[in-house]
Amino acid sequence: MSVVGVEGEERHDFSQQESASIRRRSLALLKSLLQPLWAQVALTIVVVVTSTAAQVAGPALIAYGIDSGLPALLRQDWMPLGSAVVAYLITGVVGAVLIAWFTVLSARISQTILLDLRKRVFQQTQRLSLEFHENYTSGRIISRQTSDLDSIRELLDSGITELVQGGLYMVFIAIALFSLDWVSGLVLFASLIPLAFLTRWFQVRSQKLFRRSRVASARLIVQFVETMTGIRAVKAFRKEKRNEKEFGGFVEDYRDINNRVIQLFGYFDPGLILIGNVTLAVVLLVGGFRVADGGLAIGALLATLLYTRQFFGPAQDMAMFYNSYQSAAAALEKISGVLEERLSVPDPTRPIDLWQAKGSISFEGVEFGYKAGRVILPAFDLQIPVGQTIAMVGSTGAGKSTLAKLISRFYDPTAGTVRLDGVDLRRLHPNDLRRAIVMVTQESYLFSGSVADNIALGNPEASREEIIAAAHAVGAHGFVTALPNGYDTDVNKRGGRLSAGQRQLISFARAFLADPVVLILDEATSSLDIPSERLVQKGLRTLLADRTAIIIAHRLSTVAIADRVLVMEHGCIVEDGSPRDLIAGTGRFSRLHAAWRDSLV
Amino acid sequence: MSSVDKTDTSPKRPGTYASILRMYPYAKPAMPRIYLGMVSAMLAALVALAIPQVLRALVDGPLKDGDSSQIWWPVGIVLGLGVLEAVMIGLRRWLVLTPGTHIEARMRNGLYAHLQGLPVAFHDRWPSGQLLSRAVSDLGLIRRWFSFGIVLLVINTLTILVGFVFLLNINWMLGLVFVVCSTPLWIYGYVFESKYSSVARRSQDLVGDLATTVEESVHGIRVLKAFGRGPQALKNFSLQAEFLRGIEIEKAKAIAGIWLWLLLVPDVTFALSLLGGVLLAAAGQITVGGLVAFFATAIVLRFPVESIGFLLSMTYDTRNAADRFFEVMDSINTITDPDAPKTIEKPAGRLAFRDMHFRYPDAPQRYPDLLNGIDLELEPGETMAVVGLTGSGKSTLTALTSRLYDVTGGAILLDGVDIRDLRLRELRRHIAMAFEDATLFSASVRDNVLLGRPEAGDADLADALRIAQADFVYDLPQGVDTRVGEEGLSLSGGQRQRLALARAVAAKPSVLVLDDPLSALDVDTEALVEEALRRVLASTTTLIVAHRPSTVMLADRVALLEAGRITAIGTHSQLLGTSEHYRFVISSLDDEREREAREVEA
């Protein structure tokens, strides 16, 4: 099994090699995030190093004050004590001010990183193909962008500061201790050995658990989002109790894993304190003997004790934030997986511009299957000249939508080429492609915002007049003006109750506004009532007059405005001709048409 | 894209203490362990404070005398105390951590259950990203606060106070310097709340908005792709995220402010204590051992003092999280089981609307009711089609039958019983719906279809699938056990619609409510479904929203919905003959004639 991209994402038992490759990819991501910020990072490091050094000076100054200041004072010499106190004040103030500055600096850096990461994941999400989205499910991609980023944010918020500062603190203290009394320094050094073992133990154990906790939280989110988006069906079919049980299970899994993680930490933290306190006792013992026979000053002993205590102080903080580091690392693994995911419909590296598309489409030896070996559309050729209106007919699953999605480049063909005005779609500049070809599907998703905003999605530069004109053209103007705030009505507040038909009209207006040379309508009128459909078709007659159009519809009324009909069956085009010829013939279409005529009243 | 300003909805924010106290019911079972945890944390702190006292005895005794043989004992005691501290801290963690996760789980389950209970009108109003951020990040904050925030906040404050006593005890003058010097900290602690808390709240709300945008960008991916609006969506998202970044930096500044004081004050205090301590020692007012003990004690207090900063910010975050949690929990569920529920022993399926009115709560006053006095009666077993223009309220009418919304006037009766007098579960068992948006859940085809009657067997499943012409499921990789993706994305619209229809049929209700159930089907399939449906419809009361003549044909009678009222009822042919509006809504013959006329001309 591979771990490239999002594959194997739900596993947590990686082999060493896999672990290494995942870690490499996380680190590479981290590096690329930090690189543009190197100057800020450098400044921040200088600030934090200086402030830490200032802070660490404290106990040494106390030692000096006691050991030199006290005897000097007895000789009426104020200098040593005075300088110790002044130095303490200065280092204290400098240290504190710099740390405060450091806090702001590091927040700037971490927020910039986070912003960068958010944008990258968002953009990647938009670029990934529909195929990816269909397999990965929206809940998981949402959890990548919410809870996973949350845990990275948590680390960046407080963790990095503590981690860097604490690490430096420990290094400086070790240095200070060595220079003050090398014997105590050695003791401290010896204590690092059990510390290293303990940390390693914790790291290995927790990493696995953190990975599992990411997976568990993603499951929780999937279920949550699904319930809230499908709340009507949940209620109507009394799924609440069953959902509660299911969700309760996910909550319990997540709780259990979380609990195990922090229990692990519950051994780690006291372990640290134990090591610290034992070290303290040893330093005291070793120092005490030397003080007793005059080898060490009392003040120096005090300083070594203070340093030892302080050395393990940040160690505890760091342990705490190591925790959030581990959790963030697990999240980063998942995110870097999504970012690594290869685009199956990639943007061209050297795009061809097509400023003024005319709208001829050609399929040359095109074959398509979602998965290798399962061919949906066997190899075929098809020419659609400029300005032709094509109706595609055939039963559900015959491959009509798939063919349409190849034209709008939701998918790329497995073999052969689809061209617009002779240019391979794969080489066409994405902006030109999207401007030239627009597809309206039966799922008419509305985004939160006003009705006008939603129509303007077709052309963000459109003026209010143009938006209204588009709504007029598809017959949506009437109901929109009847809404409480007309075009400014927030669909979020009323979105739940704009009827499916109304939503379809809005997405129709969107397409109208986009004004593409090739328009694909995939069941775009299925929820309209007959008068609305009539209006839409009237609008279409003018709209389609000078552009290429592919219309997929079950209602054969659409055929009325078509120049050409394609009948599809099992992925193949079985009939192709003008509507009149086909109706006159004896093929499938003439049968369908006859049946449809009978159904009219 | 959206900005939900929930902060403004509550005119008066409750205090931090009040907000946090509201979580007590969820925390109650965990409290004994949390209290015990506090006790062990306090013991740990006392032990840590005791160590300097041993040092004092050691310095003033054996070390002063140069008596090496007496060193072992005090060091042994320090070691013993050190081990005890570690044990106490371990005990504190063991006591407190697990209950914290239980509080989180309890609150999360509670929120989920409450959300499921809240009426559809609530969900229309609240973007699910806001709900998600409350259910995940906010509750995570609360867990961490209960797991160590609250314990450390209480204990560290106590430790500081006890430490003061120790310091005063070692030398009252030095101790006093320390206590007086630390007063700015307590003052700043209060100021900090006003600086931090509201910024933090804004950041939490923005995170929720960001989640909403993310969600929409994923759910609307097809539209964004179709129009090539990915870059624009990214721009919108970036603006939002950048705004959040600004707020976060503001937050960091508030934290930097308190950090400055938390570090500055102890450092100044230490410097002054050093001055005073050495002076006192020179004057013989304090022993060297006392001085050592003083500084050793003071350093033990450093961590508790510094920790106050993040413990306070954590507490304010938690308070905001609790506020956000209770904003949802305080939403009153208006659609609930009645106090004295009635029950229908033998449902016949007589569905009646009596002068029924409905308007959406946010509809402006000047608008008439969307449904303005509906009178309609469905006999048991009858199939009634509802026909009307887009936006005339047909879908709303169907949603009212199973109380997804409640009527605002009049009543809906099932077998003579007001549906509000039935338990929701019973009502929704009697009435099954198929929506125009066919929602499928991440589960097997079987579970999806048998959603309304999980106990049904394979025969019922097969039957329902056959009626809905959904045999395609047998061709799926694992047949009826294939998991259909979230929202059934990997199925086509027509396939999803058929599964939704099969689901309604499989529930074997006494009343079927179908909202334009065949819109996404092709003509052949539609004909087959209609053929199969007739058998079910013959014995089941059915309310069916129809846009097409072919669907209307399934019905015994047709009701025409116009301007919020039923303006005509009759058979299809009766209405064609008598109602101008009906002909306008349902007939496409005019077009046909027109077209043929044109063709003849041509």
Of B82, B237, B299, the CB nearest to A122: B237
The shortest C-alpha distance from B274 to chain A (Å) reads 7
Q: Does position A444 have pLDDT exceeding 90, yes or no? A: no
- Predicted model pTM: 0.84
- pLDDT band at residue B375 under the 50/70/90 scheme: very high
Residues on chain B touching A101 (C-beta within 8 angstroms): 256
Closest-CA residue of chain A to B104 = A255
Interchain CB distance below 8 Å, B120 and A235: yes
* SS3 track for A506-529: HHHHHHHHHCCCEEEEECCCCCCC
Round to whole Å and give the CA distance between A435 and A409: 13
pLDDT surpassing 70 at residue A13: no
Residue A236 is nearest to which of B65, B245, B428, comparing CB atoms? Answer: B428
Structure-model confidence comparison of residues B398 and B438, the more confident one: B398
pLDDT at B487: 46
The Cα B519–Cα B598 span in angstroms is 29
> Which residue did the predictor score with more confidence, B118 or B69?
B118
Read off the pLDDT band of A601 (50, 70, 90).
Answer: low
* pLDDT greater than 90 at residue A323: no
CA distance A575 to A568: 7
Per-residue pLDDT tens digits for A68-116: 888 888 888 888 888 888 998 999 899 889 988 988 988 888 888 889 9
The packing angle between helices B288-329 and B183-219, to 10°, is 40
Residues 83-122 of A with CB under 8 A from B: 84-85, 88-89, 91-93, 95-97, 99-101, 103-104, 106-108, 111-112, 114-115, 118-119, 122
pLDDT value at residue B12: 58
Give yes or no for A262 touching B (CB within 8 A): yes
Q: Is the pLDDT of residue B602 over 50?
A: no
Confidence at residue A1, expressed as pLDDT on a 0 to 100 scale: 46
Q: Are strands B443-444 and B431-434 parallel, antiparallel or unpaired?
A: unpaired
Chain A residue closest in CA terms to B307: A317
pLDDT over 50 (residue B348): yes
CA-closest candidate to residue A382, choices A552, A567, A590:
A567
Q: What is the pLDDT of residue B4?
A: 41
Q: A500-514 and A464-474 are packed helices; what angle lies between their axes, rounded to 10 degrees?
A: 120
Determine whether the interchain pair A267/B219 forms a contact, defined as Cβ–Cβ distance below 8 Å: no
Å between B66 CA and nearest CA of chain A: 4
> Cα separation of B494 and A442, whole Å?
10
Question: Can you tell me the mean pLDDT for B199-222?
Answer: 85
Min Cα–Cα distance to chain B from A412, Å: 14
Residue A283, pLDDT above cutoff 70: yes
Angle made by CA atoms B544, B548, B552, in degrees to the nearest 5: 45
Lowest mean pLDDT among A304-318, A431-445, A582-596, B580-594: B580-594
Give the model's pLDDT for residue A432.
87
Contact B282 A435 (CB under 8 A): no
Higher pLDDT, B560 or A1: B560
Residues of A within 8 A of B549 (CB-CB) are 599-601
A578–chain B Cβ distance below 8 A for any pair: no
Please indicate whether, in this complex, the C-beta atoms of B364 and A243 are within 8 angstroms of each other: no
Pull the structure tokens for residue A562: 């078509």
The DSSP symbol for B408 reads S
- The residue ranking higher by pLDDT, A477 or A597, is A477
Q: Quote the percentage of chain B above a pLDDT of 90.
A: 20
Confirm or reject contact between A528 and chain B (CB < 8 A). yes
Contacts of A134 in chain B (CB under 8 A): 485, 489-490
List all residues of chain B from 161 to 200 with a beta carbon under 8 Å from chain A. Answer: none
The pLDDT assigned to B589 comes to 56
Whether residues A294 and B220 touch (CB distance < 8 A) is answered with no
pLDDT higher than threshold 50 for residue B406: yes
Residue B493 pLDDT exceeds 80: no
Alpha carbons B352 and B401: distance in angstroms, whole number = 10
Mean residue pLDDT of chain A comes to 84
pLDDT of residue A236: 82
| Of B592 and A307, the one with more pLDDT | A307
* pLDDT score recorded for residue A397: 72
Least confident window among A357-361, A532-536, B397-401, B577-581: A532-536
Nearest to A84 among B253, B264, B274 (CB): B274
- The confidence score (pLDDT) of residue B558 equals 93
Q: Quick one: what percent of chain A has pLDDT higher than 70?
A: 94
CA distance A253 to chain B (A): 10
Tokens of B562: 């116009």
Predicted pLDDT of residue A44: 86
Q: Is the pLDDT of residue B323 over 80?
A: yes
pLDDT at position A82 is: 87
Residue in B with minimal Cα distance to A499: B391
Residues on chain A touching B116 (C-beta within 8 angstroms): 227, 231, 234-235, 240, 243-244
Show the DSSP H helices in A65-78 as ranges.
70-74
Mean pLDDT of A460-473: 90
Which segment of A260-264, A298-302, A314-318, B51-55 scores lowest on mean pLDDT? Answer: A314-318
The ipTM is 0.85
Using CB atoms, which residue from A255, A280, A600 is nearest to B592? Answer: A600
**Is the Cβ pair B428, A510 closer than 8 Å?**
no
Which residue of B79, B131, B256 is in closest CB contact with A104? B256
Least confident of A312-321, A489-498, B5-14, B104-113: B5-14
Query: For residue B528, which amino acid is it?
Result: L
Please compute the mean of the pLDDT values over residues A331-347 and round it to a whole number.
84
Q: How far is CA B333 from CA A28, A336, B77, B359, in A?
A: 50, 42, 62, 18
Q: Check whether B411 has a pLDDT greater than 90.
A: yes
pLDDT higher than threshold 90 for residue B412: yes
What does the pLDDT read at residue A498? 79
